Structure 1
């Protein structure tokens, strides 16, 4: 055993530790002494890996401490770590033996005072402005008279009462309220979800989509209004397809949502005034425009009447306008008989000249020449017509045979289908059910289905498979006769016999089949 250990040298009696033992001892000592610390410093390097954890450095003008914020804590804290932000971090110190490092495990992170909040706000503002979210060109116009107004605010505060009161005074509109927390940790996510939720509604649906949104909150400190400075709220407002009015705080309060909204109102009451016009002012303006329109119409008609009268005085008399055409008509009337006579004479001369060349001998000669020229063509025409007639006759015979065969097949198919339908009709008809022992009872011409209806009927009639039987009122047989003959009432149902071709049924169909007993 002595060979396994080195003998201690003289004067060196200090114990020896392994690397792991020393690292573990340091870890226990640091975690025991600094199990809960609060560190104030500026955030340096920040890393957001895909695991969801956050790695960052806390520094001042002389030192740097590495820190880590696990995924669950990162999702819970309100302050998003940003480089250059001065914060107060609460957590515990621990070591990382694999690299001989120590680090702070952050459990809470908050800005270090008002200056840090303002610096973070200015940084966010500059980032969103660089992305163009504050550009006036992207802002949507506010509708002049929205049909439905969506309000994102607390349902229990005075803000919603002020908005509803102002809308009722100016121009009553339908209002949809999305209740949210207006301060605290739940403010930013609830406001962003409300804006996105209103935009997700279907226009004209069961819960209609608003035409205008108002995001409102009363006044308060910077910390109270900080939820409306969060990036998630600003981006949700910028992405809204519905025009949005921001009314957060009092007139001097400004948040990020005011810069990205389509219209900023100094107070919630002012937002309601921007949303709708004054109904009485609008009605007065309409009346004024109506009066102006009536006046303009009357003046226009009067001016045009005067103009027409002025133009009519400048026109010549109707008699003077007709004097020239009347004189030209008289002149042409005088010339017409002479022109007709001259035209007839000219046509007679041309006819006489043409008749001189039309002598009978010359006409006969010309006809004989044409006949000799046509003789060869006549024989060829006869042969060609014969061949064409024979070919057409053969084609016609083939087509006629095909048409006859197709017609015969179609008629046979119709016969088969009609036979099947007739058998189906007989099977489904209530007469076939009567042959199995059932009967149809009619009272005063209508089908009777209850004992009370039969008792109240004046005349009853029972239809069997082979005929009908009339009985007295109430079914007691008084005044009733025997079976009704086929020639006085509806014909009894006849059994269909096998047929080669369907024929029209000779059975009379009753008014209605009714129910079977």
Structure 2
């Protein structure tokens, strides 16, 4: 690149300049190097603005602002995963990072490496929000709390191995009840503190029950007092979840009386100081020895009193018991009496059995098989003789009956009976031929008389003689003039059809007016079928009984 450039002035004349000519990329790179060399790492305080959470790539992009300026900020994915305090919209923070530029948009920005709240107020806001979140998940519920063992064999302690806290705990345990203590060394402050405490709690829980390293019966998480920033590791969400998930009862002893951290809510017991935690975990051995001695003394006295009461009761029972001689005297007398009666009773019993045996012998003689067989043979012989006599008598009687039936069934007898039956059948046919026309004529005359009687008694026969039947709207016969009102629609039934009519008068003096009598339609829309010019005859009221249909 030349040191001078020849050009034209605004009047068209040439001019010479020594300004360096830059490309856009070159100038952007130079500005980037100048800015990074001039500032390097900076510590910046500002309010988070435009934060929308991590990008799909895992990086975070937002801005830091104050009353009059705004600076773009970037947190790379690897750094974001290690941050204890995550950015939140509107949170005032103090960040540490490198100032650089982004040539693609010609703007400068800060690459954040660490982030922390600016002041106690911001920390308290984060702490309260985290407390509400974990409480909503049930991590602080009393139902999750476990009881501490009365006398733990192994005590696990999670704390710094070099501070005064572990010395106070060990000294207090030694004074009260010396126990086997396992110390899991951790940093109680700093960037890695929360991860180390979490690993310690979960590590104690992962120990097998019968391994080379004994599994603790109780865990103490302890730290001395400090500011909110110093104790912030014990507000970490991972630490709180590890404490809540612990299968081993856990005692929290972080800070002093007024220092409350989130692990205190999740622990099974919270103690204000590490010394207090040691006192809660184990009793005083001297007190236990004194209590055991007192209990032993009281037990001995109670057993002595119990023995004395039992002896007194036994003496009372002994006095209430009868002498052995008195108990066996009456049974002994009864035994002597029964022994005297035994010989006589045996003799009588033997005689009774002898008589019974003789009776059984006689019965057995009567029931001898040979005797029974002879008697059966005799009965069988008598039955055979009787059977022979009956067979002979029945054979003779059946022979006579057979001869008599055979005589009746001879061909000559059958032919004679058939001839007689044929003669009777011919005579009966002749009589039936003479009598059948007469019977049919007689029955026809009777049927005709009955039919004429039925026609004379039916309402159609009455109508054929010139009478009419007056019906109301429901097609029911009107039997009285009192049942007719003015304007009442009527139907007059004649022998060859119906006529629709309307009453124009009341009871006793009403008149009937026919509508469209000459073959028209009635008021009900029904056709009237009657001969033209034929007068309508109304039946007298005393004839209404003829039309009961």
Band of TM-score, shorter chain: 0.5 to 0.7
Instruction: State whether residues 215 and 246 of structure 1, in contact with CA within 8 Å, keep that contact through their aligned partners in structure 2.
Output: yes
For residue 333 of structure 1, report the CA deviation from its aligned partner: 3.0
Q: Secondary structure at the match of 1:216?
A: strand
Q: What's the TM-score once normalised by structure 2's chain length?
A: 0.56
Partners of 1:226 and 1:25 in 2: CA distance: 45
Report the count of equivalent residues. Answer: 350
Alpha carbons of structure 1 residues 55 and 364: separation in structure 2 relative to 1, 3 Å: farther
For 2:254, the equivalent position in structure 1 comes to: 248
**2:207 pairs with one of 186, 196, 201:** 201
Partners of 1:309 and 1:153 in 2: CA distance: 67
**1:237 pairs with one of 232, 240, 243:** 243
* Structure 1 gap segments, 5+ residues each: 1-20, 370-517
Q: Secondary structure at the match of 1:295?
A: helix
Q: Secondary structure at the match of 2:243?
A: helix
Partners of 2:331 and 2:55 in 1: CA distance: 102
Q: Which moved more, 1:294-303 or 1:200-209?
A: 200-209
For residue 302 of structure 1, report the CA deviation from its aligned partner: 0.5
For 2:187, the equivalent position in structure 1 comes to: 181
**Which string of whole-angstrom CA distances, capped at 9 and with x for unpartnered residues, describes residues 10-37 of structure 1?**
xxxxxxxxxxx99998999799779768
Aligned: 1:115 with 2:153: no
Partners of 2:305 and 2:127 in 1: CA distance: 62
Partners of 1:366 and 1:57 in 2: CA distance: 133
Partners of 1:54 and 1:188 in 2: CA distance: 23
For residue 245 of structure 1, report the CA deviation from its aligned partner: 1.2
> What are the within-5 Å matches in structure 2 for residues 97-496 of structure 1?
105-359=111-365, 362=368
Partners of 1:226 and 1:145 in 2: CA distance: 32
Partners of 2:91 and 2:35 in 1: CA distance: 28
Instruction: State whether residues 43 and 94 of structure 2, in contact with CA within 8 Å, keep that contact through their aligned partners in structure 1.
Output: no
Q: Secondary structure at the match of 1:47?
A: coil
Q: What's the TM-score once normalised by structure 1's chain length?
A: 0.59
For residue 117 of structure 1, report the CA deviation from its aligned partner: 0.6
Q: Secondary structure at the match of 2:219?
A: strand
* Structure 2 gap segments, 5+ residues each: 1-22, 376-549
Instruction: State whether residues 93 and 117 of structure 2, in contact with CA within 8 Å, keep that contact through their aligned partners in structure 1.
Output: yes
Partners of 1:218 and 1:350 in 2: CA distance: 112
**Which string of whole-angstrom CA distances, capped at 9 and with x for unpartnered residues, describes residues 302-349 of structure 1?**
111111222333334444433443343344334333332222122111
Q: Secondary structure at the match of 1:177?
A: strand
Partners of 2:81 and 2:195 in 1: CA distance: 12
Alpha carbons of structure 1 residues 26 and 179: separation in structure 2 relative to 1, 3 Å: same
For residue 290 of structure 1, report the CA deviation from its aligned partner: 0.9
Q: Which moved more, 1:53-62 or 1:328-337?
A: 53-62
For 2:44, the equivalent position in structure 1 comes to: 38
For residue 353 of structure 1, report the CA deviation from its aligned partner: 1.0
For residue 38 of structure 1, report the CA deviation from its aligned partner: 2.9
Alpha carbons of structure 1 residues 30 and 40: separation in structure 2 relative to 1, 3 Å: farther
Partners of 1:45 and 1:332 in 2: CA distance: 116
Q: Secondary structure at the match of 2:289?
A: helix
Instruction: State whether residues 46 and 57 of structure 1, in contact with CA within 8 Å, keep that contact through their aligned partners in structure 2.
Output: no
Alpha carbons of structure 1 residues 225 and 39: separation in structure 2 relative to 1, 3 Å: closer
Alpha carbons of structure 1 residues 237 and 24: separation in structure 2 relative to 1, 3 Å: farther
Instruction: State whether residues 44 and 59 of structure 1, in contact with CA within 8 Å, keep that contact through their aligned partners in structure 2.
Output: no
Partners of 2:177 and 2:96 in 1: CA distance: 53
Alpha carbons of structure 1 residues 357 and 183: separation in structure 2 relative to 1, 3 Å: same
Alpha carbons of structure 1 residues 251 and 38: separation in structure 2 relative to 1, 3 Å: same
For residue 274 of structure 1, report the CA deviation from its aligned partner: 1.3
Partners of 1:43 and 1:342 in 2: CA distance: 128
Instruction: State whether residues 221 and 253 of structure 2, in contact with CA within 8 Å, keep that contact through their aligned partners in structure 1.
Output: yes
Aligned: 1:53 with 2:71: no
**Which string of whole-angstrom CA distances, capped at 9 and with x for unpartnered residues, describes residues 113-156 of structure 1?**
11001111111111111111111211111111111111111111
**Which string of whole-angstrom CA distances, capped at 9 and with x for unpartnered residues, describes residues 244-282 of structure 1?**
111111222111111111111211111111121111111
**Which string of whole-angstrom CA distances, capped at 9 and with x for unpartnered residues, describes residues 167-211 of structure 1?**
111111111111111111121111111111112222231122211
Partners of 1:43 and 1:325 in 2: CA distance: 113
Deviating 4+ runs (over 6 angstroms): 21-37, 59-66, 100-103, 366-369
